[in-house]
């Protein structure tokens, strides 16, 4: 039977300390490994040349590998967006989307294969839940695309609900922001969530990353129609929690609002949304709905979106219309579906 392999990427410094202890290496070897993994970005244990030969052999004997996995496939949009397919979980692959935009280069990463939240407007939600990604699989998305070195921002807005995979999410954020990791400012990272309350509080308490909340309607009953999760995590409770935190500087709070024709694009909605968000330091991102097979929802017209944006701005809520990217390769918001991987082992 083949020995199970254990990726080193995805391990925090504490995790690497445990590996060092297990392999009879000195404590400081954890810092050396972190540097090779996250700064030098090596792809093979033999490249960690300041570890002794014996230590490298022991790592291999214990089943450790670097754990880097190249994308299984890619699709390139005419607008420069690139969608990458990675091995995921539960026999289903996941997708990451690289979005170049002038001096910014953003990677939209997935945190789960599929999703439990079942939002009616989302392809990922349609496919059900197949499993959470490990921290190694999350970090691998950032390390193994060809554009890795030029990334300026990470958004957890790909497949899955990041707060439904909190331990791996927190480890990945620690790796991205720690001095021994990528040493990124947390301001380069945004976590998008439906607002899983307890986990959201931990994210706010334990990290300094930006937060984006999927709201999509200011009316709880209407929101529940699109997002069944409203019943478990009412938006009013999410807003109450957010009011306990300071978003006036350093950390940004935004709300994601996908616009559906005749459903949530009326002046009544913009007025109520402004009323709900009053007093919160935040901005609203208006997102064009990308039609998905089998959905009866339609995109709001550009005129309605502009009118909605102007109405929010007039009521003191900063709102912008997010540019749609990668629609021709099914990489835009709500369109990620991955694919079944018949060869994958769950």
**What residues make contact with ligand SF4 under the rule CB under 6 A?**
115, 117-119, 122, 124-125, 159-161, 194
Residue of minimal Cβ distance to ligand SF4: 125
Q: Which three-class secondary structure state does DSSP give residue 45?
A: helix
Which is nearer to ligand SF4, 222 or 281 (by Cβ)? 222
Q: Shortest approach of ligand SF4 to residue 263 CB, angstroms?
A: 16
Cβ distance to ligand SF4 smaller for residue 45 or 113: 113
User: Least CB distance from residue 159 to ligand SF4, whole Å?
Assistant: 6
Residue 334 Cβ vs ligand SF4, minimum distance, rounded to whole Å: 6
User: Closest separation between CB of residue 19 and ligand SF4, Å?
Assistant: 32
Q: Residues near 296 by Cβ (< 8 Å), separated by ≥ 6?
A: none
According to DSSP, the β-strands at 73-76 and 82-89 are: antiparallel
Token pair in block for residue 278: 């009053």
In the annotation, is 95 catalytic? yes
Q: Is 174 a catalytic residue?
A: no
Q: For residues 43 and 118, which CB has a smaller minimum distance to ligand SF4 in the complex? A: 118
Q: Which is nearer to ligand SF4, 32 or 111 (CB)?
A: 111
DSSP secondary structure of 129-144: EEEEPPHHHHHHHHHS
Please state, in angstroms and rounded to a whole number, the distance separating the CA atoms of residues 81 and 97.
Answer: 7
108, 115, 282, 333: the catalytic one is 333
Out of 95, 161, 199, 256, pick the active-site residue.
95
Tally: H helices and E strands in the chain = 11, 14
Quick one: 16 or 189, whose CB is closer to ligand SF4?
189
C-alpha 95/C-alpha 341 separation (Å) is 12
Minimal distance in Å, beta carbon 258 to ligand SF4?
8
DSSP 131-200: EEPPHHHHHHHHHSSTTGGG--EEEE-SSS-GGGGHHHHHHHHHHHHSTTTT---GGGEEEEES--HHHH
Q: Annotated active-site positions, please?
A: 95, 333
């Amino acid at each position: 039977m083949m020995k199970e392999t254990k990726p080193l990427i995805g391990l925090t410094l504490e995790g690497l300390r445990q590996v060092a202890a297990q392999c009879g290496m000195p404590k400081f070897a954890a810092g050396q490994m972190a540097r090779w993994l996250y700064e030098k970005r090596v792809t093979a244990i033999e490249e960690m040349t300041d570890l002794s030969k014996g230590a490298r052999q022991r790592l291999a004997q214990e089943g450790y590998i670097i754990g880097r996995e190249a994308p299984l496939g890619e699709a390139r949009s005419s607008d420069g967006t690139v969608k990458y397919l990675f091995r995921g979980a539960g026999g289903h692959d996941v997708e990451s989307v690289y979005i170049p935009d002038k001096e910014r280069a953003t990677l939209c990463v997935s945190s789960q294969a599929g999703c439990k939240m079942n939002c009616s407007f989302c392809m990922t939600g349609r496919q059900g839940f197949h499993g959470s990604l490990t921290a190694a699989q999350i970090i691998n998305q950032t390390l193994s695309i060809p554009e890795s070195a030029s990334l300026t921002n990470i958004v957890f807005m790909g497949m899955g609900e990041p707060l439904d995979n909190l331990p791996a999410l927190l480890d990945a954020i620690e790796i991205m922001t720690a001095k021994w990791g990528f040493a990124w400012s947390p301001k380069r990272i945004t976590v998008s969530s439906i607002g899983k309350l307890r986990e959201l509080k931990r994210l706010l308490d334990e990290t300094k990353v930006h937060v984006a909340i999927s709201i999509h309607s200011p009316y709880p009953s209407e929101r529940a129609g699109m997002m069944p999760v409203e019943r478990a995590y009412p938006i009013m409770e999410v807003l109450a929690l957010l009011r306990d935190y300071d978003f006036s500087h350093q950390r940004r709070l935004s709300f994601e609002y996908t616009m559906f024709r005749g459903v949530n694009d009326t002046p009544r909605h913009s007025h109520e949304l402004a009323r709900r968000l009053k007093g919160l330091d935040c901005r609203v991102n208006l997102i064009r709905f990308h039609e998905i097979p089998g959905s009866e929802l339609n995109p709001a017209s550009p005129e309605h979106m502009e009118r909605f944006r102007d109405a929010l701005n007039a009521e003191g809520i900063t709102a912008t219309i997010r540019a749609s990217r990668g629609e021709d390769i099914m990489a835009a918001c709500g369109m990620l579906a991955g694919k079944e991987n018949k060869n994958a082992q769950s």
